[in-house]
Structure 1
Amino acid sequence: MDVRQVSYFLAVVEHGGFSRAASALDVAQPTLSQSVRALERELGTELFHRVSHGVVLSAAGKAFVGPARQMLRSIAAVRHSVDSRGECAELTLDLVTVPVLAVHPGASLVGSFRRANPHIFVRIDEPDVDDGLHVLIRDGHSELGLSHLPLPRLGLDVVELGVQELWLAFPPGTDVGTDGPAPLTRLHGADIIGVPRGSWQRDLVERALRDHGIRTRLVVEAGPREAVVPLVLGGAGAAFVPRETARAAAGRGAVVRPTDPPLRQAYGLVHRPGPLSTAAGAFVAHARTRCATG
């Protein structure tokens, strides 16, 4: 097994096929295919199922993604430590985050980080469900995770950054009866737009409503989180959204309020114990500074 084989394997994974990976790497497709086949022979198992419409990862392939990325990060760290170019060496940051944190503070953090470190390539992944983020970190698929806290007991290190707060967004023209926070009791019997089960946001909302004996009607379950505000604006119902999203929705006509009691949860960066790569260490330091000052 060599670095090129592992790099080619990950390129096929990330580009969704051999032809697109070959084009991105500027290599001949037969060369790439032969390299991946050689890797499969060395591992003694197929990493991809070759199907009529392309390739899909086998069970072994899925299991190999994390170790493969971890291998390349370790090699990059060694090269960086002996590279006379120092911070100008090409580096990659692997970050996994749940959708609600990808928007805020994720987008702002990555944007300011890239402006300060234009030589670092950032790859952002999303878990199938929010709870799966910690497993992706533990298994090496990504080096850093932007996650809500506290964590399951998986032995990960935590860098707490701040607190996210949910507000209520109502359709335009809704009479909420106050300029201050909206009591959760006001939602008894209300039509609610929710996000899928297994998400931090839904768990927090359902726990708060249950604790206060409030029963609502879930009328829309929106898998695409970007659809929630348009659904509110279209009159489908009210929704719990992050404070920053609520303020943007207010500019489009939604009626928004903080909740009483407030709905808040901490968030931060998580990673496996031990030294971080140069790129990940730089991102952690950057996030600490940005969140402390902003």
Structure 2
Amino acid sequence: MDPRQVRNFLAVVEHGGFGRAAAALGLAQPTLSQSVKALERELGVALFRRVAHGVVPSGAGRRFLGPARQLMHDVARLDASVGGHQRPVLELVAAAPLAAHPGAALVGSFVAAHPDVLVHLDRGAVLTRVRDGAGELGLTYLSTVDDLRTVELGRHTFVLAFPPGTRLPGTGDRVPLRILDDRPLIGVPHGSSQRRLVEAALRAADVHPRLIVENGQRDLSAALVLNGVGAAFVPDVAAAALTARGAVVRAVDPPLHLAYGLVHRPIALTAIAEAFLHHVAG
């Protein structure tokens, strides 16, 4: 099996079509199509099925995704082990709240030290994408994941941001959770670490806010707060920017913390992933 065929298969999956994948790879579309057809003949299965706006993996294609990504991972490791000249690529998947803080700073300092590296930084379901090989490293809030290795990098403390002009009782810089009772709240989606943390704290305090909007994008939550929709829990690293734009930001009593860090499968990492891990954890 030619690794280039596997690379081409993965490109079609990631770009959702042969035309877009060919453009990304710098290939003519007929060349890419022939490469995938040759791989399908070798495997004896159809890897794609057509849909309205492109192609999606068939059942066999979905089953081939994990092994295909593992093969490309192994090829990269082999190339690095013999001093190959391929440009090193770091495959990093970051949870939406962490891609900007601390993700941008971590990637920035790393590429400054390794200017030859190309970083593929994606946002999405981190644990799923790391498990299936779509990303070699994942940056996420940490929880118990027995099948993945974790490296804690730090913690976020969550504060409450209120719309501009909000009048709060008292003059301190902290507010109790009970201030949210029957108050409009902007929440994050079910299943997220932040959602579990906040819901557990609200249950323990017997506090019942009115959930107005659910969304998983920090920038959108900030815009909703600033436009008077409701209060939102945000990481402390976002507090200064929100305050500068007029939001009323207060620490929470008791404080709410979440550890964040890197996750990866329990296999040997590529040299560039190892370098990134040591860079950010050192």
TM class by shorter chain equals over 0.9
Q: Is the 8 A contact 1:164 1:266 kept in 2?
A: yes
Q: Is the 8 A contact 1:70 1:141 kept in 2?
A: no
Give the aligned partner of residue 34 of structure 1. Answer: 34
Report how many residues are paired: 281
Give the aligned partner of residue 24 of structure 1. Answer: 24
CA distances 1:238-277 after superposition (whole Å, capped 9, x unpaired): 0001111122111111010111011101111111223211
Partner AA of 1:4 in structure 2: R
CA distances 1:14-36 after superposition (whole Å, capped 9, x unpaired): 33321122122222211110111
CA distance in 2, matches of 1:23, 1:139: 25
CA distances 1:40-68 after superposition (whole Å, capped 9, x unpaired): 22223222112343212223323333322
Give the aligned partner of residue 281 of structure 1. Answer: 274
Query: Alpha-carbon deviation of 1:148?
Result: 1.6
Question: Paired residue for 1:190, among 178, 183, 199?
Answer: 183
Instruction: Structure 2: give runs of 5+ residues left out of the alignment.
Output: none
Structure 1 position 199 matched with structure 2 position 196: no
Structure 1 position 231 matched with structure 2 position 242: no
Partner AA of 2:161 in structure 1: A
Query: Alpha-carbon deviation of 1:139?
Result: 2.8
Structure 1 position 2 matched with structure 2 position 2: yes
Q: Is the 8 A contact 2:97 2:217 kept in 1?
A: no
Structure 1 position 117 matched with structure 2 position 114: yes
Give the aligned partner of residue 169 of structure 1. Answer: 161
Q: 1:91 to 1:270 in 2, by over 3 A?
A: same
Give the aligned partner of residue 141 of structure 2. Answer: 148
Query: Alpha-carbon deviation of 1:180?
Result: 1.7
CA distance in 2, matches of 1:70, 1:7: 11
Q: 1:185 to 1:51 in 2, by over 3 A?
A: closer
CA distance in 1, matches of 2:203, 2:143: 20
Give the aligned partner of residue 93 of structure 2. Answer: 96
CA distance in 2, matches of 1:274, 1:13: 24
Q: 1:201 to 1:23 in 2, by over 3 A?
A: same
Instruction: Structure 1: give runs of 5+ residues left out of the alignment.
Output: 290-294
CA distances 1:194-246 after superposition (whole Å, capped 9, x unpaired): 11112111111111101111111001122443210010000000000111112
Query: Alpha-carbon deviation of 1:137?
Result: 2.1
> TM-score when scaled to structure 2?
0.93
Secondary structure of the residue that 2:254 maps to in structure 1? strand
Q: Which stretch shows the higher mean deviation, 11-20 or 251-260? A: 11-20
Query: Alpha-carbon deviation of 1:189?
Result: 1.1
CA RMSD in angstroms, aligned pairs only: 1.7
> TM-score when scaled to structure 1?
0.90
Secondary structure of the residue that 2:255 maps to in structure 1? strand
Secondary structure of the residue that 1:96 maps to in structure 2? strand
CA distance in 1, matches of 2:65, 2:117: 21
Secondary structure of the residue that 1:68 maps to in structure 2? helix
Q: 1:199 to 1:272 in 2, by over 3 A?
A: same
Q: Is the 8 A contact 2:96 2:216 kept in 1?
A: no
Question: Paired residue for 1:221, among 197, 201, 214?
Answer: 214
Structure 1 position 160 matched with structure 2 position 152: yes
Partner AA of 2:257 in structure 1: R
What pairs up with 1:259-270 in 2 under 5 angstroms?
259-270=252-263
CA distance in 2, matches of 1:3, 1:63: 17
Give the aligned partner of residue 124 of structure 2. Answer: 127
Partner AA of 1:152 in structure 2: V
CA distance in 2, matches of 1:43, 1:248: 53
CA distance in 2, matches of 1:34, 1:84: 27
What percentage of aligned pairs have identical amino acids?
A: 55
Query: Alpha-carbon deviation of 1:142?
Result: 1.6
CA distance in 2, matches of 1:84, 1:77: 10
Q: Is the 8 A contact 1:66 1:136 kept in 2?
A: no
